[in-house]
């Protein structure tokens, strides 16, 4: 009987050691998984502004249709000696207005994509999102002679899937910190006051150069003058992103 208890005692001890070892191994595996999950949290995000103490801002213009508003805006930028700005161009518009696109390129302004079909990409499948971005990329590269790597999605609409697909295609999604709401303004002063009161260092300012905006031709010179009076310098979005850590926004879906 004593021998039986001794043998069982040894077996119990061995089993206890095995159990402890299993728990230890499981703990290591769990810790490794935790480390993996931490790295996997570094998901693509949209850029809204750049935290910096420097008084630099990016004027950005979306264009998706029309031919009346763009050239006057280019003339104002030239007259005001604003050498840096970023234009987000829809590819169908760019294809049908190569002369205006050529003016933007010759002026030295940065070109970003505004997608192909003007629809909410969050409602598309991954393959459809990829197709829309690639179509725009191909057309814009052909028309401008440069390959864009910034995109402002139609209507500013996106979700995690859109961000992921854009990132896979080498694009950074650009939003804005200050929205001029120029498309629904009732006069130029409304646009000027809104932009100049909300602008902050590292800001990305959303304006439009499509025919949907009626008052930007009058508002833009005042915006430029007032921001310069406040000590601001105008840079492209890419130059702005080089200033500091980027302020981004994640989405839940």
pLDDT tens track for 182-222? 999 999 999 999 999 999 999 999 999 999 899 999 999 99
Six-digit token string for 253: 């879906």
Residues 67 and 23 reside in one and the same domain: no
Instruction: Provide the domain limits for residue 8.
Output: 1-42
DSSP, residue by residue, the chain: -HHHHHHHHHHHHHHHHHHHHHHHHHHHHHHHHHHHHHHHT----EEEE---SS-EEEEEEEE-S-SSSHHHHHHHHHHTT----EEEE-HHHHHH-HHHHHHHHHTT-EEEE--SS-S-GGGS-HHHHHHHHHHHHHHHHHHHSS---EE--GGG---HHHHHHHHHTT-EEB--SEE--GGG-SSHHHHHHHHHHH--TTBEEEEE-STT-SSHHHHHHHHHHHHHHTT-EE--HHHHHTSSSPEEE----
Residues 22 and 105 reside in one and the same domain: no
Residues 98 and 219 reside in one and the same domain: yes
Residue 124: which pLDDT band, with cuts at 50, 70 and 90? Answer: very high
Average pLDDT of the chain?
Answer: 86
Q: What is the CATH number of the domain that holds 76?
A: 3.20.20.370
Task: Please report the pLDDT score of residue 148 as a whole number.
Answer: 98
**pLDDT tens-place string over residues 44-73:** 999 999 999 899 999 999 999 998 999 999
Average pLDDT (148-169) is 98
Which of these ranges, 40-49, 103-112, 120-129, 139-148, has the smallest mean pLDDT? 40-49
Residues 198 and 89 reside in one and the same domain: yes
Residues 194 and 72 reside in one and the same domain: yes
Residues 215 and 108 reside in one and the same domain: yes
Task: Please report the pLDDT score of residue 27 as a whole number.
Answer: 42
Task: Please report the pLDDT score of residue 63 as a whole number.
Answer: 97
Residues 26 and 69 reside in one and the same domain: no
Residues 71 and 166 reside in one and the same domain: yes
Q: Is the pLDDT of residue 84 over 50?
A: yes
Q: Is the pLDDT of residue 31 over 60?
A: no
Task: Please report the pLDDT score of residue 247 as a whole number.
Answer: 57
Question: Which residues are catalytically annotated?
Answer: 62, 208
Residues 34 and 153 reside in one and the same domain: no
Residue 170: which pLDDT band, with cuts at 50, 70 and 90? Answer: very high
Tell me the CA distances in angstroms from 18 to 10, 22, 239, one per residue in order: 12, 6, 59
Residues 86 and 36 reside in one and the same domain: no
Q: Is the pLDDT of residue 42 over 90?
A: no
Q: Is the pLDDT of residue 18 over 80?
A: no
Q: Is the pLDDT of residue 249 over 80?
A: no
Give the separation between CA 86 and CA 112, rounded to whole angstroms.
Answer: 7
Task: Please report the pLDDT score of residue 64 as a whole number.
Answer: 95
The structural domain count of the chain equals 2
Task: Please report the pLDDT score of residue 43 as a whole number.
Answer: 85
Task: Please report the pLDDT score of residue 244 as a whole number.
Answer: 62
Residues 132 and 216 reside in one and the same domain: yes
Residues 153 and 37 reside in one and the same domain: no
Q: Is the pLDDT of residue 225 over 80?
A: yes
């Amino acid at each position: 009987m004593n021998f039986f208890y001794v043998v069982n005692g040894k077996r119990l001890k061995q089993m206890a050691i095995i159990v402890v070892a299993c728990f230890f191994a499981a703990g290591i595996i769990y810790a490794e998984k935790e480390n993996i999950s931490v790295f996997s949290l570094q998901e693509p995000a949209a850029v809204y502004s750049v935290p910096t103490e420097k008084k630099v801002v990016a004027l950005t213009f979306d264009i998706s249709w029309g031919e009346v508003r763009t050239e006057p805006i280019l003339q104002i930028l030239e007259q005001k000696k604003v050498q840096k700005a970023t234009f987000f161009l829809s590819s169908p518009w760019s294809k049908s207005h190569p002369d205006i696109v050529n003016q933007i390129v010759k002026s030295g302004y940065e070109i970003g994509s505004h997608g192909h079909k003007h629809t909410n990409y969050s409602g598309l499948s991954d393959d459809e999102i990829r197709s829309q971005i690639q179509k725009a990329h191909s057309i814009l590269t052909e028309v401008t002679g440069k390959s864009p790597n910034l995109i402002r999605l139609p209507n500013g609409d996106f979700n995690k899937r859109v961000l992921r697909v854009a990132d896979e295609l080498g694009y950074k999604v650009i939003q804005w910190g200050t929205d001029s709401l120029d498309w629904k303004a009732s006069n130029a002063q409304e646009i000027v006051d809104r932009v100049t009161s909300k602008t902050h260092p590292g800001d990305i300012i959303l304006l439009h150069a499509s025919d949907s905006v009626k008052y930007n031709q009058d508002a833009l010179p005042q915006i430029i003058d007032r921001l310069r009076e406040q000590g601001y310098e105008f840079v492209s979005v890419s130059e702005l992103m080089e200033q500091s850590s980027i302020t981004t926004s994640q989405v839940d879906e």
